[in-house]
Structures are given as C-alpha cells and as structure tokens.
Amino acid sequence: MAGNNRKNELRALFMGGAPASPTQAPADQPDALTPVNNQPTPNAHRAASGAVKAMGLSLGSITREAEEARALRKALTQGERIVALDPALVEASFVEDRLTDAEVDDPDFLALVESIRENGQQSPILVRPHPEKQSHYQTAYGHRRLKAVRRLELQVQAIVRPLTDDELVLAQGKENAERRNLSFIERALFASALVARGFDRKVIGDALAVQKSELSRLLQVAESVPHHVARAIGPAPKAGRERWMAIGTLLEGEEARAQAEDEIASSRFRAAETDQRFQLVFNRLSQNDKPEPEKPEELKDEAGRVFARLRLDGKAPRIEFLPGTHPAFLKEAIAMLAKWHATFVENQKS
C-alpha cells in the first residue's frame, strides 16, 4: 500500500497536482527567468511519462521521488515558482561539501544523468540570486542535478529564493542529511571551510546535524589531515570517525606527512578507489609508526666465534643457538642455566 501511495503522489504532482495559478513573480525577477509551471508546456506529457517510468524503480528511488514531490508541492502552495535557468548562470555554493568527482567516480551521478535523459528533471534545485553577480545565481541544493543537466546541455529547473548565507548553508546541509550522507572527512572539511568563513559554530552544527563534541572532532581531523591529502584520498565512506582520527594522529609529524605525500604520488594510489586509497596511506603511516626491532646481541666464545644470539625485543627474551650447534652442548648449557637460575633465585631471597 505504501508503494501505491508514493506512486499516486508522483502522478498527482506531475499530472496536475500542482496549484493551477501560482503567484505572480517578483517585479525585480531577472528576464533570464523563464516560468515553466504557470501554463501547459510541451514537456508536460514527457514529465507524466517519466513519473510512470519511475514506478519501475527500486523502493528507495520511489521513496526519494515521493519526498521530492511533497517538498515541491509545498513550495508551489507557498507561492514559489519553478523557472528554467541557463546553467551557465548558476554557480555552485560558496562552500564545497563533497570530495567526489561526480562525472568520473560516482555511479549514482551517472544513474541520475540517465534518469534525467529519459524522464526529464523531475525535481527543481534551490538557488538564490548571486550576491555579487547581476543576473547570476548560487546553488543552495541540487548540485548533482545542476551538473547532470549541464552534461546533457539542458536548462535547469529551479526555485529562486532570497537566502542569507546562513540559510543557504542550512539548506545545503539539510539536503545532505536527506540524501546521500556526507562521509566523515567530507563533513570535517565542510565544517572547516565554514569556520574559515566566519560562520557561527551553532549554524555549522545545525547544518551538519551534530552536537558540539562531534563538531570538535570533525574540526580536529580537518586540522590534522592536510586538505590536499584528504582530497587525494577522497570521501572514503567506509573509513569512519575513529580511523580518520587515527590517521590524523599519525600525520602529526613532518616525516609522516612526507610519507603520505610519497604514497599519494604513487601509481598504485592513483589506480585505487577511494576506500583503498585511505587504506594505502593508513598502512604506510602505521608501518612507519612502529619502532624498529632491536638487533639481537651476539654471544661469542673466547675465540670470538658467535654460537648464539640473545633477542630482547618483545615480551619474552630468548637465546637462539646457531644451526648446527652440537646436541651435547645444548644439554650441558641447559643444565648450567638451570643451576645458575636456582642460585640466582636463592641470592635474591637473602
């Protein structure tokens, strides 16, 4: 029943569920805006067809589309309009939140491109008038959709809303929470970038939906891991908070940072996917963090010939006799050690 309700919501939205008479656009709205939801368009049939095709998607995809439909209906009922913009006039947010190169290594993005190619853009992005460039816009959320329509050389469907910097950051964070969550390092760098821009920590915490203690951990990692190293590794979604904090600790020394630089420059690193890249750097630093084992002490006879080695590394010191040592000597040596040990224990008691 839940699946049918979601399908009906999509039908209602794309086959006439939107308000029939949206409010008038603001008088100062730039001419570049082209209203697309105040009259029937040639794309209406394609949108409806796309909604029907969406019914064949996985349950997760249907759920996402239904949530987008509800959000869109709410925006429309509040008097906001969907407009078609030239993607060349729309810039990304002033703060980056993802490390993924969407057009190269994000399969979700490639699937989104194909979905828009077949069904059209079924959910608008949110933008604000650019605070510094006339007739340009800045994206609050919908960055992947913007990239997808650029790739397809289409106009982007958008809701234009005046937003403060704080409101834009909160909207951007809300999208990440509702869609594909940012990985730990992406959230850490996002938080660090907002701090650098002077945002209040409460706003940053609200945008990332984290408490003060978690925000402190995010900023700690962002400070300890050089940004270019983090970007080279990428989002590494399987590497959680503890491992990123561990690698941050390993990177405190100059020698460790040089080793990390050497690793990210290697061909094996460049050929690996993001979680493997994290592991390569982590392994490299972990190996260097281990102390060098102590060299064994050589036991020599009066003629200077080595007959055994004493190893003191580890919890159990041991004597290793050289291969070929005569069995009779081993028995005599063991007997003498037992006698000396007994004498030593007695002397310790007195």
pLDDT digits (tens, 9 = 90+) for 30-63: 444 545 544 444 444 444 444 444 444 444 445 5
* Residue 130: band (very low, low, confident or very high) from pLDDT cuts 50, 70, 90: very high
Token pair of 153 as six digits: 């050389």
pLDDT digits (tens, 9 = 90+) for 272-317: 988 999 999 999 998 855 555 678 888 888 888 888 988 887 678 8
Can you tell me the distance from the alpha carbon of 159 to that of 166, in angstroms, rounded to the nearest whole number? Answer: 18
Question: CA end-to-end span of the chain, whole Å?
Answer: 87
How do residues 262-277 score in pLDDT, each as one tens digit?
Answer: 999 999 998 998 899 9
Can you point out the beta strands (E) in 64-186? Answer: 82-85, 90-91, 125-129, 137-141, 156-160
The closest of 192, 283, 278, 188 to 238, measured between CA atoms, is 278
Position 123 scores a pLDDT of 85
pLDDT at position 82 over 80: yes
- Phi then psi for residue 19, to 5 deg, are -55, 145
Question: Model pTM?
Answer: 0.52
**Radius of gyration for the alpha carbons in the chain, expressed in angstroms and rounded:** 32
Nearest residue to 147 via CA among 186, 199, 92? 92
Ordered by where they begin, the domains of the chain are: 1-180 (3.90.1530.10), 181-290 (1.10.10.2830), 295-321 (no CATH)
